[in-house]
A and B are shown apart, each in its own frame.
Chain A
Amino acid sequence: MKIKYISLPIFVVAAILAPFVMSNYWIFIVTEVLIMALFASSLNLLLGYTGLLSFGQGAYYAVGAYTTALLVKNVSSSLWVTVGGGVLAALIIAIIVGSLCVRLSELYFAMLTLAFSQMIYFIVFQWRSFTGGDDGLPGILRPPLDLGVISISLSSPQNFYYFTLILVALSLWFLKTVAESPLGYVFRSIRDNPKRAEFTGIAVNRFRLISFVIAGFFSGLAGSIYALLAGFVSPELAFWTKSGEPVIMTLVGGIYTFFGPTVGAAIYTILHTFIASKTEHWLLYFGLILLVIVLALPEGVLGAIEKWRGKS
């Protein structure tokens, strides 16, 4: 416990100072880590806390990304409108899909989230006139951050990094608060024993939906930020393999800890960057790591560290 209280401030300070010591290339990478940390943490609210394996979070990520991209290109140059619109779209889709999915048990739930994700992929892929289809949407400019009194440009990697850092930190704080609140305990009781939860009067499906919608909201936010980071979106963001990324990150980092997914996102992205520069077959190494985790370290890296440190 003591260790955790020391390490969090260290990370915060490191995060704030990072852009001063890193090249633009690395700032981009770390920004991406932040985005994926949000994506994975939102997934973990569903998976680790509520016990629902969704293999379709890529759908909300992609909806957020594409909506923001389309808004920037066609409608508005206001940051609030574009990102807000992206998140709103993802939220709506999450509500619709979620209400259809949550009554299904484990395996069928996963399959249905997969099916919806693929549907969105093909709609995005085929609707060339609207979404650019296979070519995606390039040239997404970052709107400036307009705070009324001042307008801050986000085109520099440093500025965009801080923007992302603040958004992600706020989101993670919100998610953590939810996870450790009575609502979070309801989620966990549903995860541990849905029947018993139902017997104690909890409307299981309604709370599953709440969890699903919160997860979809933040997945959409992650996607929106990504669209502005990369300046480009393509249909792959909705393909099922994209949805697998937050699941892997969560598992590798630690499924039953709050910061596990963040750790997993960091490991995944940094490994990707390191290995991808040496060989294009980095997924091989990541697959091997995942294999080791599943067979030997199911509680993930952070979980194992906490266990080793003798958590209370």
Chain B
Amino acid sequence: MDFSILFSVFLVGLATAMLLFMISSGLTLVFGVLRIINFAHGSLYMLGAYFGLSLQSLFREMGSTFWLTLILSSLAVAAVGGIVELFFLRRVYKAAHIYQLLLTYALVMIIDALVKMVWGLDPMSISEPAALSGSFEMLGRPFPVYALFIILVGFAMTIFLWLFLVRSRYGKFIRAAAADVDITNALGINVPLIFTGVFILGSWLAALGGFLSGPLMVTSPDMGVVIIIECFAVVVIGGMGSLQGAFVGSLLIGMLNSFGAYYIPRLSMVFVYLLMAIILIAKPTGMFGARG
């Protein structure tokens, strides 16, 4: 047993997991509060990457632009999310679930088509900032610095989200709305504002994930539809609406992907969906989900 390889695979799994968590946390939050499965979450993730690409080329002369681009692109997508919620999602809250699902699906089609129109079909790449390039030596094997950075950012994000939701005032409002919308409303809390806010937060997280994933993965017009299914798997396994669930689910899937790709490359993806199916059959509400 070559521990250094095992450790590398483990770290790759961790990095994938953290990235997946950043993206899925937004999806699960939106579901927990708005009770909507946002198919367009993957498209927002993709927009984060593509906005970042354009901003990067815009700022090229200015030198180190990674951080500025990260902030601006994620805020831009957060704004897009706000518009989507205010002008479209609001109209279907009272409608049957299928219409909500199809609304977000329509958005997927629209956003994905717009991305192809503006940026073309060819895959592109986002390069990491100079400060994070190169690799570390871990147990005698090289490991990309950027991937380590992602792991750290993931943990930081987890702590930030946890603190926000558990300790802050707005976090409490959000958790209240997730628990019982009507009573929260009756308490005089501005629920529509919370809905918009959570959707914006979710979009922001997705976009962050999108741009940050750039140096590790290819940026292409189909990255949205591919990631959304992985996010669904995470959220189903962890429990829809549960942030701890999203964390554990991301870890599970990240590790499954990484170890699977190394040991059973042909079947690893099948195992992810197999796990998703098993959870749905055995305990549909997922590992940490409370109610259906």
Contact = CB atoms under 8 A, between A and B. Distances in A.
B110 A114 contact: no
**Interface majority SS on A: helix, strand, loop or mixed?**
helix
27 contacts: A53-B101, A100-B277, A104-B284, A107-B97, A110-B101, A111-B232, A111-B236, A112-B281, A115-B233, A116-B273, A118-B273, A119-B273, A126-B266, A126-B269, A126-B270, A284-B114, A287-B106, A287-B110, A288-B110, A290-B106, A291-B103, A291-B106, A291-B107, A294-B95, A294-B103, A298-B95, A298-B99
Contacts of A74: none
A248 B258 CA distance: 35
Most B CB contacts (10 A, CB to CB) among A107, A240, A288 go to A107
A106 interface: yes
Contact of A114 (B114, B232, B267, B281): B232
Contact of A115 (B98, B103, B266, B273): B273
Contacts of A110: 101
Nearest to B35: A107
A126 to B, nearest CB: 4
Given A53-B98, A111-B280, A112-B280, A241 B225 contact: yes
Interface in A226-248: 240-241, 244, 247-248
B280 A244 contact: no
A4 B129 CA distance: 65
A256 to B, nearest CB: 12
B277 A116 contact: yes
A294 B107 contact: no
Given A251-B102, A287-B108, A119 B274 contact: yes
A199 to B, nearest CB: 20
A298 B113 CA distance: 23
A281 B119 CA distance: 12
B225 A126 contact: no
Contacts of B280: 104, 108, 111-112, 115
Interface in B121-144: none
Category for how many chain A residues contact B? 35 or more
A236 to B, nearest CB: 11
Interface in A22-56: 47, 53
B116 to A, nearest CB: 6
Interface string B261-286: 00000110110011011001100100
Nearest to B274: A119
Interface in A267-295: 280-284, 286-288, 290-291, 294-295
Nearest to B269: A122
Given A118-B229, A126-B267, A105 B281 contact: no
A108 B292 contact: yes
Nearest to B226: A239
Interface in B78-124: 88, 91-92, 95, 97-99, 101-103, 105-110, 112-114, 116-117
Nearest to B121: A280
A235 B166 CA distance: 44
Contacts of A107: 37, 97, 240, 292
Contacts of A152: none
A111 to B, nearest CB: 5
Interface string B29-42: 00000000100000
A122 B107 CA distance: 26
Category for how many chain B residues contact A? 35 or more
A281 B236 contact: no
Contact of B91 (A111, A119, A241, A295): A295
Interface of A: 47, 53, 100, 104-108, 110-112, 114-116, 118-119, 122-123, 126-127, 240-241, 244, 247-248, 251, 280-284, 286-288, 290-291, 294-295, 298
**Interface majority SS on B: helix, strand, loop or mixed?**
helix
Contacts of B105: 244, 247-248, 290
A55 to B, nearest CB: 8
A290 B229 CA distance: 21
A287 B104 CA distance: 10
Contact of B116 (A248, A281, A286): A281
A115 B272 CA distance: 9
A115 B109 CA distance: 21
A240 B226 CA distance: 10
A294 B229 contact: no
Which 10 A-B residue pairs are closest in the complex by CB-CB distance? A287-B109, A284-B113, A287-B110, A290-B106, A108-B284, A122-B269, A119-B273, A115-B276, A112-B280, A291-B106
Nearest to B278: A115
B102 A283 contact: no
B292 A240 contact: no
Interface in B52-100: 88, 91-92, 95, 97-99
B292 A115 contact: no
A122 B270 contact: yes
B273 A284 contact: no
Contacts of B267: 126
A47 B276 CA distance: 23
Given A47-B98, A114-B232, A126-B270, 6 more contacts: A53-B98, A53-B101, A107-B292, A111-B236, A111-B276, A283-B113
Contacts of B108: 287
Given A114-B229, A244-B105, A280 B116 contact: yes
Contacts of B106: 287-288, 290-291, 294
